[in-house]
Amino acid sequence: QVAWEVDEGLVDRKTLHAKAAIAKLAASEASGRVIDRCLQIFGGRGYDRSYPVERLYRELRVDRIWEGTSEIQRLIIAGELVKRGTGVLQMPAAVGGAESR
C-alpha cells in the first residue's frame, strides 16, 4: 500500500515516511513474535544451532534494530501524529477501485 502511494504521489513525503515506519515497525515486531513462538514450539531444538529455527530467530531479531530501531520508528510515527494528525493512518484507494491497480 505504501509503495503504491509513493508511486502515485498522493501523499506528502513526510507522511509517507511515517507510513513506511508503520509498515516496518508492524512487520518487524510481528515477525519477532512469530519466530519467538516457533522457537518455543521446537523447545530445546529451537535453541539448538543445528536447527533452522535458531538461525531465523537470530536473523529476525536484528530487524528491530537496523534500518531504524523500533523505538525510532515509534518516534517518527508519533511525531507525524502530533504535527499533521491522523492522516498517516488513512489509506487512499485507487480511482475506480482496488481492481484498477
Q: Could you confirm whether 67 is annotated as catalytic?
A: yes
The yes or no reply on residue 65 touching ligand FAD (CB under 6 A) is: yes
Residue nearer to ligand FAD on the CB measure, 48 or 67: 67
The yes or no reply on residue 66 touching ligand FAD (CB under 6 A) is: yes
30 contacts 16 by C-beta, under 8 angstroms: no
What's the grid cell of residue 15?
A: 507522511
Q: Which stretch binds ligand FAD (CB under 6 A): 16-24, 40-48, 68-76, 85-93?
A: 68-76
The yes or no reply on residue 62 touching ligand FAD (CB under 6 A) is: yes
The yes or no reply on residue 72 touching ligand FAD (CB under 6 A) is: yes
The yes or no reply on residue 69 touching ligand FAD (CB under 6 A) is: yes
**Closest separation in Å from C-beta 72 to ligand FAD:** 6
18 contacts 29 by C-beta, under 8 angstroms: no
49 exposed, middle or buried (CB, 10 Å; 0-12, 13-18, 19+)? Answer: exposed
What are the helix and strand counts (H, E) for the chain?
A: 5, 0
**Closest separation in Å from C-beta 24 to ligand FAD:** 12
Cell numbers 509503495 label which residue?
Answer: 3
